[in-house]
Structure 1
Amino acid sequence: MDLAFLSPLYEHPGSWASAYVGLSRHDEDLRTRRRPAAEAVARRLRERGADEATCRAVHDAAAALERGSEPYGRALFAHDGEVVLQVSLTRAPPWGLVRWGTLPHVTPLLDLAGEDPVSLVAYIDRAGAEFELRSAVLREEAGQVRVGRQWPMHRARASDWSERRFRLEAEDTWEHNAREVAEALAGCQAETGADLLILCGGERECRSVRERLPGHLRDRAVRAAHGVGSRLLPREVEEVRARHVRERILAEVDRYRSARTPGEERRAAAVEGVPSLIEAARGHRLAELLILPDGPDTRREVWIGEDPARLAERRTELSDLGERHAWPARADDALVRAAVVTDAPVLSLAPVREETGREVPAGGMVALLRRR
């Protein structure tokens, strides 16, 4: 997950409020529940020592969600009486996820708002295709293509010469049409930036279109198992999207495990454990950070300075590094800050835990390293 959008959270030192406010569109008493939720969030922040101006800002932002359209809720990050950033969630957060600390608590975003690939669904038939954009919070039409050659479209079954010629012409027509659909689909992907292409239609039609996509899109295209002749259900789209995310993360974990083996320079390209991760962050060597949001190492206390690369296990270490100020912080929040300011992506290890036979690193935090 690219967390560059979190950069504003690291421009102002000081204490931060982090509140994950959930909304359920299925509750009959939705309106009556949201205001108590806003009040409960503000109350929890006060109990944790937040200043009144920041509590009020978070309360007002949470109450304003009553007029919003998000199905799951938002993460609110506030500092010094101002909500600096709001992030729409793609999953409902657990109740009471509120923090007050030196750094914004952003790790839950990895599971609640991260890895939400925008999918471009193509409903394909012999006459063209209709396109639709889908994500956890989005569903909108994205255009259509009607191909120019629409006759003959269906193959004859008999085997005499004239009907055989008709069959060949029908196949030639569809091959031409499949090329037009593929070109239109590739153009729509370029325009929308969709991460995943879902092809819905007959097996032969979908295969023909996929084969004619540019090489860099072919691996992103998958055929839906259902939905031929009808619109895909949200559940079917979600299954395809979830499988895509899981496979991507599992591939990154396999890459991490391979990188742990020292190379020709007798130096591993991956590390795990808080001490090694801190050392990598100090040297600006984090290439990719992988975190299990509820892993045991995430809650460990570390010490940070104003410079995101200045972090240590003990406060005295920061003094040795020349830092005049030091504050305690959660290890996951400190390492995510270091990753964000150096443009290193961060992924959740939660899908790995769900896979049979795959073990999550004991501490729950690992990293791939940049080359020196």
Structure 2
Amino acid sequence: MRACIILGVICVHVLSSFDAQTLPFSKTNISLDLLTMAFHFTREAFMFITGLVLFYTYYDRKFTVWSFWRKRLSLIALPYVAWTALYIAFTGTYLNKFDWGPQALAHRFGHALLTANQFFLYFLLVSMQLYVLFPLIVKMIRRLENRLWWVVSVSFILEIGIMVLNQTVLNHLQAGQVPTWLFTLVHYRDRFILTYQFWFIAGAALAVKYNSVRDWVSRHAKVVVIAAITAILALWATYFVERFGLHMTDGEAVDVLQPIMIPYALIVACLLWSVGLRWARVRTEEHLARVTPVIQFFGGVSFGIFLIHPIALHYFEQIDQRLHLHGGLHLVLIPFTAVFAYVSSGVAAYLIGKIPYVSYIVGEKTHLRRSTAKSTLSKAV
């Protein structure tokens, strides 16, 4: 699932970049909007997997709060700090009038750490918030395990309410209408754990009821596929209603934080999980012998791909600008851009992961002595 989801993340970013160059309401604009929405399940799916892995690992294990915080927060905080600094330095290489003064850099760095405003580091910030609250959430789930589906249902309804509030009120909130601190919180709501609370609760529920849910999904694979087809049709229908009926802007219509994305992303996540279960049963077959290592490779370096791919996309955009392609020829670059970012970032993550200590920034724990045990930090997210 990790290998597929990170590819979907890159597709979203590539499609959004090309979509921004199209004329509003043109056929190309609408087509790229629809494709972008189809891949927009990836953010929620990432959160869902994070909750699933974390609860599956710790739910039946005794642990202390301080030992958990010390271990988990250190694994995510180091890449967060390192990539915040690396991204600032990277953007300084191409932004005009970038201030390299120590005071300006310190201010930019501090603000970036607080807001996760460097590319897509919001995910790491939300993960750290989850780690802080995780011991309390575990206690709650354990106490309410017999009413787990009620917990999930309430969480789902709350998530829908948050998305309705976001789409109808928060998207239109202007500075000065509310206190500054509240406007700041609203402005950065896409990196606040409450915005994604359902996905962590759903991941916890799946971890607790893993075997029974797995058996049901395995027996009803066709139902999951039909549900996914229905969901994407409903998603696209919602787009046309919002864009042409409610006259929403392009950005509002494809926004990932809207009500329809919750059931859609949940169904697609179930579909991917169903495919993953099927893959686990057949991956050792002879005719898949060459494919399995590739999928395992990209799954293993998915955390590094997530962190490195914005740099790869930037350089490909520079190539795109120099080619001056138009029309269909320009659109052909979309799959090439996605593959380039995926593969190059994966290879870069793998190579960085071989460097002792530096490897921590891509989720690989290594030391100077290669004979020592190595554990994958990417499992933390």
- TM band (smaller chain): under 0.3
Structure with greater Cα Rg? 1
When normalised by structure 2's length, the TM-score is 0.21
Relative contact order, higher structure (CA 8 A, sep 6+): 2
When normalised by structure 1's length, the TM-score is 0.22
Structure 1 or 2: more helix by fraction = 2
